[in-house]
Structure 1
Amino acid sequence: MTHLIRMERTFMSLHPSISLSEMEPNATFSNNNNNSNCTIENFKREFFPIVYLIIFAWGVLGNGLSIYVFLQPYKKSTSVNIFMLNLAISDLLFISTLPFRADYYLRGSNWIFGDLACRIMSYSLYVNMYSSIYFLTVLSVVRFLATVHPFRLLHIISIRSAWILCGIIWILIMASSVMLLDRATEQNGSITLCLELNLYKLTKLQTMNYIALVVGFLLPFFILSICYLLIIRVLLKVELPELGLRVSHRKTLITIVLALIIFFLCFLPYHTLRTLHLVTWKVGICRDRLHKALVITLALAAANSCFNPVLYYFAGENFKDRLRSALKKGHSQKAKIKCGFPVSVWLKKETRV
């Protein structure tokens, strides 16, 4: 037993930085094993900062404007807009962490913002990812039910019920991700590592991945696919003479199709490669292509916050009208300021005389 403990200590001293970064290995261990072909660390340093800053700029603009539009007073508010508002808030909260992530990789995986901020980074990624998945799923289901059973749903999904359901989603996702808050910073010489998981937590990480894969991705994806097939069936069977029904069916189809596109583009590649990587990962073996592909899929998963504003614009209830109203309001306020400024200056001059 003493011999095993000594071996473990020796191993840890030789490989202090063996870890999993956002469920992918830090390439530093490969250099210790003289594997010069592993270039994942350089790739992350070049790729992540550029992509994260692009997502940040576009995401702040799109989601910030969307939240502003949703919060504008309007004659009619719907449960659909409540779900979209919560989705936009989730995206904006996550996007605000991206400059810190970009800085971390620009410094060569060196964290300078303290232990608490490090814990929040990984937590925010997974809270955003799975809250986005569930908000998109609930949004699609509500849209589908509103098309098939419009009068019955009217009594079920009120504004109050929508807020309660959003609260339940927030609580469940945040509570189930709370174990990610124990991922503190690690010292590797003069470098402070963040976004890393220790090698000896690999078994726990694999278990977490399987639960997240089934409950967090496959189940919502299955529900979304069923909604898509059922709405296609409804559209093929029913003739829609009324304009209002046509608009409702069209928005339902757009919502589900856009949600499926986001699932296929952002969430499916990441969950597939993450699972494959965790199953096949071994110490000292550098699978450069798989690691780089995983980095790209992680960036795509983060980019879901850039695609959601497109959904709001094309499928939100009265979103275009709200946007026009907000822009007109902003324009009229600017015009008043411009017109009022010369008048106030003139009045001041007249009063002096």
Structure 2
Amino acid sequence: MERKLMSSVPSVSSSETEPNGTFSSNDSHRNCTIENFKREFYPIIYLIIFVWGALGNGFSIYVFLQPYKKCTSVNVFMLNLAISDLLFTSTLPFRADYYLRGSNWMFGDLACRIMSYSLYVNMYSSIYFLTVLSVVRFLATVHPFRLLHVTSIRSAWILCGIIWIFIMASSAVLLKNGSEQDGNVTLCLELNLNKVIKLQAMNYLALVVGFLLPFCTLSICYLLIIRALLMVKVPETGLRVSHRKALTTIIIALVTFLLCFLPYHVLRTLHLVMWEVGTCIDWLHKAVVITLALAATNSCFNPLLYYFAGENFKDRLRSAVRKGHLQKIKCSFPVCVRLKKETRV
């Protein structure tokens, strides 16, 4: 995990805190046994996430962009979430290559700067998009007519733009930290020793604003929608579609938070609190490596959200498949006609 620094809310938090025993500003960072673990663990996991995330999110974007009679604010948030995930997964082969080479960066200084930047832009944009998506679902279910302006398409695009600008601007400080030469290897994604103290202080701010605040908002939405459902008489046919989709959205978002984001933020904070110069707490370093990989897997879970809770996603999917099937038939039809004519002759 990159030991980089982020400036404000999401980025502030965002040291990838690569758990080496030592740091790039002094001795070789390979003194800790965790280095071999990273070389074996990261490339496999990153390549699996790359394949699944690229296919899932790429196809989801294709489905969302299909012309359809009805577009909703939910689709706008999901489209932006899928774009964020696809951009992030495109960087994973470079990360895998770095660890396969024994933490030796081969792609230049600019690409190194983008690596840390992309991870945290994706992580915190996902957190905010999931949170806003859950809040909009909740509002549209509990107060469908009172807050129509909040759930409009125009408001959704404006809010997405605000989120992108906020996350990208607050993470821009990562672009200042590039690759470093250490003997005959080029380091990337490593923590500079001179910034550890500042990072420890900034981590708490990002932990609160970048993770705990959205997580608490999501939890409150879940409790309120459960309360609302308990007060409504459920017909024999089951929950209304809007209630079911709202509940599914919030549950999937909560599971993503608990599996992907919570372990990483807890372990990263613990690692920074327990950090000491020249020490190597092997179990903690390995745990941080694993939780960073879990944080990256959020891009694999989101396509499930689109399928099970997306607005008209299944209809769009069927329409796209039907359209592709018809085009295939049309393209093959002249060939079939020619073959029939040749057979008759």
Q: State the alpha-carbon separation in 2 of the partners of residues 178 and 73 from structure 1.
A: 35
Q: Is the 8 A contact 2:34 2:285 kept in 1?
A: yes
> Displacement, 1:154?
1.9
- Identify the match of residue 272 of structure 1 among 266, 269, 281: 266
1:244 Cα deviation from its structure 2 partner: 10
Q: CA deviation at 1:257?
A: 0.5
**Unmatched tracts of structure 2, length 5 or more:** 5-14
Equivalence for 2:8: none
**Residue number in structure 2 paired with 1:11:** none
Q: What is aligned with 2:148?
A: 154
Q: 1:227 aligns with which of 213, 221, 231?
A: 221
Contact 1:23 1:197 in 2 (8 A): yes
Partner of 2:7: none
Distance 1:58 1:271, change over 3 A: same
**Residue 118 of structure 1 contacts residue 195 of structure 1 at CA under 8 Å; is this kept in 2?**
yes
Q: Which amino acid aligns with 2:157?
A: W
2:181 corresponds to = 187
Aligned AA (1:312): Y
SS of the residue 1:196 aligns to: coil
CA 1:126/1:344 → structure 2, altered by over 3 Å: closer, same or farther?
farther
Judge conservation of contact 1:119–1:180 (CA < 8 Å) in 2.
yes
What is the one-letter code of the residue matched to 1:263?
F
Q: Check conservation: 1:74, 1:322, Cα contact below 8 A.
A: yes
CA contact (8 A) 1:183 1:197 kept: no
Q: 1:167 aligns to what?
A: 161
The equivalent residue for 1:310 is: 304
In structure 2, what residue type is equivalent to 1:143?
R
Q: What amino acid does structure 2 have at the position aligned with 1:205? A: L
Residue 101 of structure 1 corresponds to 95
Q: Give 1:209 deviation, angstroms.
A: 1.5
Q: Which amino acid in structure 2 is aligned with residue 207 of structure 1? A: A
TM superposition shift of 1:330:
1.0
Separation in 2 of the partners of 1:271 and 1:29? 21
C-alpha deviation, 1:55, in angstroms: 0.2
2:233 to 215, 239, 253: 239
Q: Against the structure 1 CA distance between its residues 35 and 181, is the aligned structure 2 distance closer, same or farther, given a 3 Å change threshold?
A: closer
Matching residue of 2:77:
83
Question: Is 1:294 the equivalent of 2:288?
Answer: yes
* 1:51/1:34 CA distance change after superposition, 3 Å: closer
Aligned counterpart for 1:322 among listed residues 316, 325, 342:
316
Say whether the 8 Å CA contact 1:183–1:195 is kept in structure 2.
no
- TM-score between the two structures when normalised by the length of structure 1: 0.88
Aligned residue pairs, count: 331
Equivalent residue letter for 1:211: L
| Alpha-carbon separation, structure 2, partners of 1:145 and 1:32 | 54
In 2, Cα distance between equivalents of 1:28 and 1:280: 14
2: distance between equivalents of 1:24 and 1:313?
A: 34
Q: How far does residue 238 in structure 1 lie from its aligned partner after superposition?
A: 1.1
Q: Which has the larger helix fraction?
A: 1
Over 3 Å counting, the alpha-carbon distance change for 1:344 and 1:180 in structure 2 is: farther
- Give CA deviations for 1:31-65 in whole Å, capped at 9, x if unaligned: 969997x4100000000000000000000111011
Of residues 193-202 and 46-55 in structure 1, the stretch that sits farther from structure 2 once superposed is 193-202
1:167-188 per-residue CA deviation (whole Å, 9 max, x = no partner) reads: 0000000011111111110001
TM-score when scaled to structure 2?
0.90
Report the CA distance between 1:155 and its aligned residue.
Answer: 2.8
Conserved? CA contact 2:39–2:100, under 8 Å: yes
Kindly state the Cα deviation for residue 105 of structure 1 after the two structures are TM-superposed.
0.3
Q: 1:115-130 maps to which residues of 2 (within 5 A)?
A: 115-130=109-124
Aligned match of 2:11: none
Match of 2:37 in 1: 43
Question: Secondary structure in 1 aligned to 2:38?
Answer: helix
> Corresponding residue for 2:108?
114
Is contact 1:228-1:256 (8 Å) kept?
Answer: yes
Larger radius of gyration: 1
SS at match of 1:112: coil
Q: Give me the whole-angstrom Cα distance separating, in 1, the residues matched to 2:310 and 2:147.
A: 18
Identical-pair percentage: 78
Deviations 1:198-232 (A, max 9, x none): 11111222233222211110000000000011011
Structure-2 change in CA distance of 1:132 and 1:196 (3 Å): same
TM-fit CA distance, 1:197: 2.0
Who is 2:67 aligned against?
73
Extract unaligned runs of 5+ from structure 1: 1-18
Higher relative contact order (CA 8 A, sep 6+): 2
1:54 aligns with 2:48: yes
